[in-house]
Amino acid sequence: MEIQTLFVILISTIFINNYVLSQMLGLCPFLGVSRKLDSALGMGLAVIFVMVMASFFTFPIYKYILVPYDITYLRTIAFILVIAGLVQFVEMVVENVSPVLYHSLGIFLPLITTNCAVLGVAVLNTESGFLSGDLGLLEAVVQGLGAGLGFTLALLLMAGIRERLEIADIPENLKGLPITFIVAGLMAMAFLGFSGMKV
């Protein structure tokens, strides 16, 4: 395994296959928590953390428990339970260790359990993701990190634009979700430009 491969995975998950704008995963938090820049940052950090942890735990479970015993059809239920347990655990630890961090991050953690991007990362890791060939644990974790970073990037860009949209003069019927979707579409078009990159 080379450092080059890991770099390719990072670039590919952050820009070329951005989870939100190109794969259309994790749209609920993308639309729900992008009203304010600081809450978007909190959500983004929480998602990065949970995605890395989820990749780290679900990948060995799939490779060393589900595959050897030939029970891979339990993948979905096993991953969801692991992620839900993980989120609960992280919430408890953060609450006890750092109340300050808990206040800025805590409210976002329960929301992450039903964030389809997290389960998406875990499932894509088992299907070798966007690369050809099998992934190892390190690659899986890097893919989780890249997915989280890409999600945060999209969320922050969106929040920045939406803060300005608040004071813009928009037709009555376009206010709220419709204009947000148009902005998301324009951003997705810009991100399409990355697909020309050969890595």
| x/- track of binding to another protein for residues 42-81 (CB under 8 A) | -------------------------------xxxxx--xx
Chain centre distance of CA 38: 17
Torsion 97-101-103-108 (CA) sign? negative
Residue among 67, 137, 182, 199 that touches another protein (CB under 8 A): 182
Which two three-digit tokens encode residue 62?
A: 């799939």
Residue among 6, 11, 24, 138 that touches another protein (CB under 8 A): 24
| x/- track of binding to another protein for residues 160-179 (CB under 8 A) | ------------xxxxxxxx
Q: Which stretch binds another protein (CB under 8 A): 25-33, 46-54, 131-139, 142-150?
A: 25-33
Residue 136: HSE in the Cβ half-sphere, 13 Å Cα cutoff: 5
CB closer to another protein out of 37 and 179:
179
63 by Cβ neighbours in 10 Å (0-12 / 13-18 / 19+) ranks as middle
Phi, psi of 166 (to 5 degrees): -55, -40
Residues 11, 145 contacting (CB under 8 angstroms):
no
| x/- track of binding to another protein for residues 100-139 (CB under 8 A) | -------------xxxx--xx--xx--x------------
| CA–CA dist 193, 199 (Å, integer) | 14
Residues making contact with another protein (CB under 8 A): 21-28, 31, 73-77, 80-81, 84, 113-116, 119-120, 123-124, 127, 172-179, 181-182, 184-186, 188-189, 191-192
